[in-house]
């Protein structure tokens, strides 16, 4: 038995092998027993991708540790492959000396052919696999044997083979089966025979581990020293939905969510449609434009109007976002980014919609842009986006991405009493002399809602006269209004936390500036470099527009600035333009997150260059 | 309250002689009779000449973006079922750029009123053909004549399962007021096509139906339970199987032979909507006006509220702390 600080496991198999379920259940168990973790599901875009082929491989990576874990890890310590295709696709992700667990039933002639292996070559004997420990077993056969007496059909029996693997991996890491047994019995409460079949196979997998114990070393990861408190599992999209319902409650408003199904944002709609007992209304619209405009209609009616989508859908919503800018009504737009352009890579992650969020509307149409940096952080980022939308009467874009949306990690969730109240500027008292586009000291206009007597007014997408809101084509008035709308957004900088250095040095050689889901990889890289004595710091941007007031000051404390992004350089354009610093990009557009090692290497290269100059 | 209480202090900026003036006046006239307080009324429009309408109504209102009045109003009505929501749109706004939202509004049957000002032309952009312009029409964008087959708005609405379908014209104010009041009383989406003359870019498009000299012979006013009579009761319509036929009264046919209007019959409403012959057809049928179809069907917003009530009853009122905790927690 060896003790390790962190272990990265990759489960891979055919889309129908139950890989996502296995990974999720393993995550829940290790979280339950006190490890910190981060996960990364990676599945094909097709619902039923061709069986046994490389394009049909579904993967689930989990990194769990006895210290804080910020990324789903780089190379896998343990890799489970259910067929040849899964091995072929992921071979390069297995760490030298790592353990490969292979289901030999998925390595027959047919599977070899489907994965593109020729002739008599045995994929498990290829030279690339020298130096790995291999555990080869016929999971399918052993699952059938475990359930030989069950009387269940072969089809149902075969479906539980992922539980055999799960049991075996639990054994490997000294994890108790109890949590999964409870989950199975709860999940199949109405079909106890299925529940017990799965439990039997789970135990059979664990016992198989015990019988082969002599040949393989078990790896133990001790519980992590996380901040004390009560935790739950957080999946990004689910937490985003919970934050929206929470913000509406804290503002004393009802939530109206309108969406159109799109990968990877649909889970927000699914989750919110279960919040009806909070008075949450969900509207599945006929298209993306209908979704955003219905949300604006609801906001006009005094609700918190929200819509979410991904790149292609956000593109369709841009005209309506401009309308919301012009109307000055609260609106939250969640963009769960995916690989683009056009349909792009629907199930893969990317951060290439930042400039679209900042500038992608006709006319001068600034609006606040925020970014979430992890599944659990989606809560605070989304809650803050809703607060700004309501208190500043403006549409707000909150950027998430596929990696955050589907990823999971432990979340020390807040109590409702700990959440700040949100104050909508709804009119009250006498309507005498009411002007719908008058402004308070922050530049915010009052919110008069249909049903309020004496406050009737008309709003629209045409330019409005300052204060009265009547249609105006006056040249000076237009310039004034463009300025007032922009100033209102700039004023938000007085009302948001200052930026800070997350970790590493507060001044020195290199500052790594990130936003969104690169958080974990940057934090891991900078922590590691700092521990090695390098002068590296990490600043992560939650508020991208407007930016906190001290960003320029922090940038000036370092000799070099690196901006890693999953795009061809977008935040870096803003930083260079705004602060006139010679920041350097680190770009990756493969539909995959950064590895911490990639960021670490970029920092080292820069430090070396600084040393040479 | 009077019609004046529903007018704003803004100058009305339609071209002199525009059919929109009459529609605005009739709407302002019926609202005091309807009795809904102005603060509970919202007028929502898209883009186009007709869409300036909300600026002239002293209620809540929004002049939104092209084609989206219907979707915006859907969100508003779903969020606030107690409000009286009116949509003002045109043939370009609701049948071209906003066609999708219109059909989905109709099938969902939210309780709103749709006033479709049909002038068979793009007016605000100065004279291009619209989705209701007739074939062959010469416009700025069709110098050799329109080659797009036009929409029949009422057939389209019936095809989308609209629960209230009517047609009126700008030059018949009394009929307009009656139908608008009935449309407002209808619980569900009321789809009202209004023939509206654009005297600048498409003058006389509906002259056949509005001019005193031709109106009697060219129009047919539908009334529930009454035979389909027109042309000063000299002519009527009979149904020969599924074929409407124009007949003279007195000789071979008497009043008893005529088709009696039943607005609850969707198949017959569709046949009426197809009485849509081009002006140049010599054996053309008269153009029907009035209520083609009316049906009582559940409303989207009502079903939505019912689900929320049910969820509250079965799951209990939402408890934010329970939501934040979820079903599976652990303590470190």
pLDDT digits (tens, 9 = 90+) for B31-54: 999 999 999 999 999 999 999 999
Token pair of B36, please? Answer: 């809904």
Mean pLDDT of A592-612: 94
Mean pLDDT of B189-203: 97
For chain B, positions 226-245, list CB contacts with chain A under 8 A. none
Closest residue to B71, CB basis, from A294, A450, A457: A294
Domain boundary among A220, A241, A263: A220
Mean pLDDT of A206-211: 93
Answer whether B74 sits within 8 Å of A470, measured CB to CB.
Answer: no
pLDDT digits (tens, 9 = 90+) for B60-114: 999 999 999 999 999 999 999 999 999 999 999 999 999 999 999 999 999 999 9
ipTM value, please give it.
Answer: 0.98
Peptide bond into A546 cis (omega under 30): yes
Q: CA-CA distance, A436 to B323, in Å (whole number)?
A: 37
For residue A298, list chain B residues with Cβ-Cβ distance below 8 A.
75-76, 78-80
Which of A239, A300, A427, A454 to mutate to probe the B interface, most B CBs <10 Å? A300
Contact residues for B65 (Cβ-Cβ < 8 A; gap 6+): A293, A319, A320, A323, A461, B46, B47
Answer whether B78 sits within 8 Å of A470, measured CB to CB.
Answer: no
pLDDT at B251: 86
For residue B314, list chain A residues with Cβ-Cβ distance below 8 A.
277
> Do A349 and A289 lie in a common domain?
yes
pLDDT at A448: 98
Mean pLDDT of A360-388: 97
> Do A118 and A15 lie in a common domain?
yes
Closest CA in chain B for residue A227: B332
For residue A243, list chain B residues with Cβ-Cβ distance below 8 A.
none
Which of A292, A316, A450, A461 to mutate to probe the B interface, most B CBs <10 Å? A450
Is residue A523 one of the residues assigned to a domain? yes
Answer whether B79 sits within 8 Å of A303, measured CB to CB.
Answer: yes
Answer whether A293 sits within 8 Å of B72, measured CB to CB.
Answer: yes
B269–chain A Cβ distance below 8 A for any pair: no
For chain B, positions 40-79, list CB contacts with chain A under 8 A. 40-42, 44, 47, 54-55, 57-65, 68, 71-79
Token pair of B44, please? Answer: 């929502």
Is residue A442 one of the residues assigned to a domain? no
Is residue A460 one of the residues assigned to a domain? no
Is residue A283 one of the residues assigned to a domain? yes
> Do A187 and A252 lie in a common domain?
no
pLDDT digits (tens, 9 = 90+) for A53-74: 998 899 999 999 998 888 888 8
Answer whether B60 sits within 8 Å of A450, measured CB to CB.
Answer: yes
> Do A301 and A363 lie in a common domain?
yes
pLDDT at A71: 87
- Identify the band that residue A499 occupies on the pLDDT scale cut at 50, 70 and 90: very high
CA distance B138 to chain A (A): 31
- Identify the band that residue A131 occupies on the pLDDT scale cut at 50, 70 and 90: confident
For B290, the 3-state DSSP assignment is: strand
Domain boundary among A391, A418, A445: A418
Quickly count: other Cβ atoms within 10 Å of residue A501's Cβ: 17
> Do A88 and A133 lie in a common domain?
yes
Answer whether B37 sits within 8 Å of A320, measured CB to CB.
Answer: no
pLDDT at A405: 95
pLDDT at A584: 98
Q: CA-CA distance, A472 to B141, in Å (whole number)?
A: 30
Domain CATH for A546: 3.40.50.920
pTM to 2 decimals?
Answer: 0.93
For chain B, positions 75-114, list CB contacts with chain A under 8 A. 75-80, 82-83, 100-101, 104
Please name which of B242, B216, B238, B241 lies closest in space to residue B227, comparing C-alpha atoms: B238
> Do A143 and A184 lie in a common domain?
yes
pLDDT at B175: 98
How high does pLDDT run on average in chain A? Answer: 95
- Residue A147, phi then psi, degrees to nearest 5: -110, 20
For residue A320, list chain B residues with Cβ-Cβ distance below 8 A.
65, 68
For residue B325, list chain A residues with Cβ-Cβ distance below 8 A.
230, 232, 413
Contact residues for B281 (Cβ-Cβ < 8 A; gap 6+): none
pLDDT at position B3 over 80: yes
For residue A280, list chain B residues with Cβ-Cβ distance below 8 A.
318
Which of B62, B97, B313 to mutate to probe the A interface, most A CBs <10 Å? B62
Token pair of A355, please? Answer: 């400039």
CA distance B187 to chain A (A): 20
- Identify the band that residue A225 occupies on the pLDDT scale cut at 50, 70 and 90: confident
- Identify the band that residue B119 occupies on the pLDDT scale cut at 50, 70 and 90: very high
Choices 3.40.50.970, 1.25.40.10, 3.40.50.620, 3.40.630.40: CATH for B3-205 = 3.40.50.970
Answer whether B318 sits within 8 Å of A245, measured CB to CB.
Answer: yes
pLDDT at position A48 over 90: no
Beta strands in A90-188 (DSSP E): 94-103, 133-137
For A485, the 3-state DSSP assignment is: helix
Closest residue to B63, CB basis, from A278, A453, A460: A460
Instruction: For chain B, give the longest Cα–Cα distance.
Output: 96
pLDDT at A46: 72
pLDDT at A350: 97
pLDDT at A74: 82
pLDDT digits (tens, 9 = 90+) for A8-23: 999 999 988 899 999 9
pLDDT digits (tens, 9 = 90+) for A306-321: 999 999 999 999 999 9
Answer whether A281 sits within 8 Å of B311, measured CB to CB.
Answer: no
- Identify the band that residue A32 occupies on the pLDDT scale cut at 50, 70 and 90: confident
pLDDT at A526: 97
What is the percentage of chain B residues whose pLDDT exceeds 90?
96
- Identify the band that residue A89 occupies on the pLDDT scale cut at 50, 70 and 90: very high
Token pair of B211, please? Answer: 């001019």
Contact residues for A555 (Cβ-Cβ < 8 A; gap 6+): A511, A513, A561, A575, A579, A581, A583
Quickly count: other Cβ atoms within 10 Å of residue A49's Cβ: 19
Looking at the 3D structure of chain A, how many domains does it have? 3
Which of B47, B75, B106, B312 to mutate to probe the A interface, most A CBs <10 Å? B75
pLDDT at position A43 over 90: no
Q: How many CB pairs under 8 A join A and B?
A: 204
pLDDT digits (tens, 9 = 90+) for A562-594: 999 999 999 999 999 999 999 999 999 999 999
Q: CA-CA distance, A585 to A561, in Å (whole number)?
A: 9
pLDDT digits (tens, 9 = 90+) for A323-346: 999 999 999 999 999 999 999 999
> Do A198 and A237 lie in a common domain?
no
Answer whether A453 sits within 8 Å of B37, measured CB to CB.
Answer: yes
pLDDT at A324: 98
Answer whether A231 sits within 8 Å of B331, measured CB to CB.
Answer: yes
- Identify the band that residue B224 occupies on the pLDDT scale cut at 50, 70 and 90: very high
Is residue A514 one of the residues assigned to a domain? yes
Closest CA in chain B for residue A418: B321
pLDDT at B331: 86
> Do A180 and A269 lie in a common domain?
no
Which of A178, A458, A469 to mutate to probe the B interface, most B CBs <10 Å? A458
pLDDT at A121: 81
CA distance B321 to chain A (A): 6
Answer whether A294 sits within 8 Å of B78, measured CB to CB.
Answer: yes
Domain boundary among A171, A190, A220: A220
pLDDT at B97: 98
- Identify the band that residue B281 occupies on the pLDDT scale cut at 50, 70 and 90: confident
- Identify the band that residue B332 occupies on the pLDDT scale cut at 50, 70 and 90: confident
> Do A360 and A249 lie in a common domain?
yes
pLDDT digits (tens, 9 = 90+) for A271-315: 999 999 999 999 999 999 999 999 999 999 999 999 999 999 999
Is residue A228 one of the residues assigned to a domain? no
Token pair of A249, please? Answer: 């409650």
Which of B12, B24, B76 to mutate to probe the A interface, most A CBs <10 Å? B76
Is residue A473 one of the residues assigned to a domain? no
Q: Which domain holds residue A384?
A: 233-418
pLDDT at position A25 over 90: yes
> Do A258 and A323 lie in a common domain?
yes
For chain B, positions 119-148, list CB contacts with chain A under 8 A. none
pLDDT at position A444 over 80: yes
> Do A534 and A511 lie in a common domain?
yes
Boundaries of every domain in chain B: 3-205
N residues, chain A:
613
pLDDT at A558: 98
Answer whether B55 sits within 8 Å of A453, measured CB to CB.
Answer: no
Q: CA-CA distance, A96 to B302, in Å (whole number)?
A: 62
For chain B, positions 275-314, list CB contacts with chain A under 8 A. 304, 307-308, 311-312, 314
Which of A35, A293, A317 to mutate to probe the B interface, most B CBs <10 Å? A293
pLDDT at position A44 over 80: no
Answer whether A298 sits within 8 Å of B74, measured CB to CB.
Answer: no
Closest residue to B79, CB basis, from A242, A297, A455: A297
């Amino acid at each position: 038995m060896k003790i390790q600080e962190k272990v990265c496991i990759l489960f891979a198999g055919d889309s129908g092998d139950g890989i996502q379920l296995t990974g999720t259940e393993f995550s829940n168990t290790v979280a339950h027993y006190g490890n910190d973790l981060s996960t990364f599901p990676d599945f094909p875009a097709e619902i039923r991708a061709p069986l046994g082929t490389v394009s049909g491989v579904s993967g689930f990576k989990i990194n769990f540790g006895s210290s804080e874990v910020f990324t789903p890890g780089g190379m896998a310590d343990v890799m489970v492959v259910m067929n040849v295709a899964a091995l072929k696709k992921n071979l390069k992700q297995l760490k030298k000396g790592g353990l490969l667990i292979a289901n030999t039933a998925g390595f027959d002639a047919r599977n070899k052919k489907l994965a593109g292996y020729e002739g008599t070559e045995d994929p498990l004997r290829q030279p690339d696999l020298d130096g790995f420990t291999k555990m080869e077993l016929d999971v399918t056969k052993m699952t059938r044997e475990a359930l030989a007496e069950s009387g269940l059909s072969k089809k149902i029996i075969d479906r539980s083979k992922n539980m055999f693997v799960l049991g075996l991996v639990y054994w490997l890491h000294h994890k108790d089966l109890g949590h999964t047994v409870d989950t199975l019995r709860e999940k199949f409460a109405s079909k106890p025979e299925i529940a017990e079949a799965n439990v039997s196979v789970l135990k059979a997998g664990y016992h198989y581990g015990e019988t082969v114990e002599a040949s393989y070393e078990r790896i133990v990861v001790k519980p992590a020293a996380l901040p004390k408190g009560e935790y739950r599992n957080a999946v990004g999209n689910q937490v985003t939905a919970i934050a929206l319902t929470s913000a509406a409650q804290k503002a004393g408003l009802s939530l109206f969510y309108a969406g159109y199904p799109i990968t990877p944002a649909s889970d927000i709609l699914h989750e919110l449609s279960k919040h009806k007992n909070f008075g949450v209304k969900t509207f599945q619209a006929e298209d993306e434009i209908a979704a955003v405009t219905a949300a604006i209609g609801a906001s006009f009616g005094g609700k918190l109007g929200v819509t979410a989508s991904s790149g292609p859908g956000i593109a369709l919503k841009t005209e309506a976002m401009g309308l919301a800018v012009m109307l000055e009504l609260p609106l939250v737009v969640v963009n769960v980014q995916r690989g683009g352009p056009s349909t792009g890579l629907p199930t893969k992650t990317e951060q290439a919609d930042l400039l679209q969020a900042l500038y992608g509307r006709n006319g001068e149409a600034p609006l606040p842009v925020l970014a979430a940096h992890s599944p659990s952080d989606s809560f605070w980022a989304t809650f803050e986006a809703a607060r700004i939308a309501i208190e500043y009467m403006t549409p707000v874009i909150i950027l998430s991405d596929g990696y955050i949306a589907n990823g999971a990690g432990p979340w020390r969730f807040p109590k409702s009493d700990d959440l700040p109240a949100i104050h909508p500027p709804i009119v009250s008292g006498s309507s005498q002399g009411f002007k719908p586009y008058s402004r308070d000291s922050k530049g915010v206009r009052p919110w008069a809602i249909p049903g309020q007597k004496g406050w009737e007014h008309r709003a629209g997408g045409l330019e409005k006269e300052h204060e009265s809101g009547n249609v105006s084509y006056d040249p000076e008035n237009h310039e004034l209004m463009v300025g007032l709308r922009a100033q209102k957004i700039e004023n938000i900088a007085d009302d948001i936390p200052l930026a800070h250095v997350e970790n590493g040095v507060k001044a020195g050689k290199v500052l790594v500036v990130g936003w969104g889901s690169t958080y974990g990889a940057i934090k891991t890289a900078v922590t590691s470099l700092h521990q090695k004595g390098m002068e590296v710091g990490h600043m992560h941007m939650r508020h991208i527009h407007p930016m906190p007031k001290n960003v320029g000051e922090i940038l000036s404390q370092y000799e070099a600035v690196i901006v890693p992004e999953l795009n061809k350089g977008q935040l870096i354009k803003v930083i260079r333009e705004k602060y006139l610093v010679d920041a350097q990009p680190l770009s990756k557009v493969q539909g995959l997150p950064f590895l911490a090692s990639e960021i670490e290497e970029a920092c080292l290269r820069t430090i070396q260059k600084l040393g040479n100059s | 309250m009077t019609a004046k209480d529903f007018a704003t202090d803004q100058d009305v900026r339609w071209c002199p002689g525009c059919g929109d003036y009459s529609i605005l006046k009739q709407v302002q006239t019926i609202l005091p009779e309807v009795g809904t307080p102005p603060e509970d009324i919202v007028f929502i429009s898209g883009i186009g000449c007709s869409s300036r309408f909300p600026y002239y109504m002293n209620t809540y209102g929004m002049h939104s973006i092209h084609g989206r009045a219907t979707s915006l109003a859907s969100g508003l009505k779903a969020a606030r079922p107690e409000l009286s929501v009116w949509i003002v749109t045109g043939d370009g706004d609701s049948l071209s750029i906003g066609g999708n939202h219109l059909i989905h509004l109709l099938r969902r049957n939210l309780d709103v009123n749709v006033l479709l000002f049909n002038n068979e032309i793009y007016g605000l952009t100065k004279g291009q053909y619209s989705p209701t312009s007739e074939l062959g029409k010469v416009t700025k964008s069709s110098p050799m004549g329109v080659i797009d087959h036009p929409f029949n708005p009422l057939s389209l609405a019936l095809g989308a399962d609209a629960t209230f379908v009517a047609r009126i014209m700008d030059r018949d104010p009394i009929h307009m007021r009656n139908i608008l009041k009935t449309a407002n009383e209808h619980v569900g989406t009321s789809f009202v096509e209004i023939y509206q003359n654009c005297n600048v870019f498409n003058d006389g498009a509906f002259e056949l139906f509005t001019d005193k000299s031709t109106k009697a012979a060219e129009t047919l006013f539908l009334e529930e339970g009454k035979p389909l009579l027109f042309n000063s009761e000299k002519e009527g319509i009979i149904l020969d199987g599924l074929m409407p036929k124009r007949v003279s009264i007195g000789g071979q046919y008497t009043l008893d032979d005529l088709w009696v209007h039943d607005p609850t019959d969707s198949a017959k409403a569709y046949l009426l909507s197809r009485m849509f012959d081009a002006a140049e057809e010599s054996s053309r049928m008269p153009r029907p006006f009035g209520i083609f179809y009316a049906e009582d069907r559940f409303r989207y917003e009502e079903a939505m509220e019912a689900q929320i009530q049910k969820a509250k009853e079965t799951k209990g009122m939402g408890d934010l702390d329970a939501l934040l905790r979820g079903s599976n927690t652990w303590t470190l």
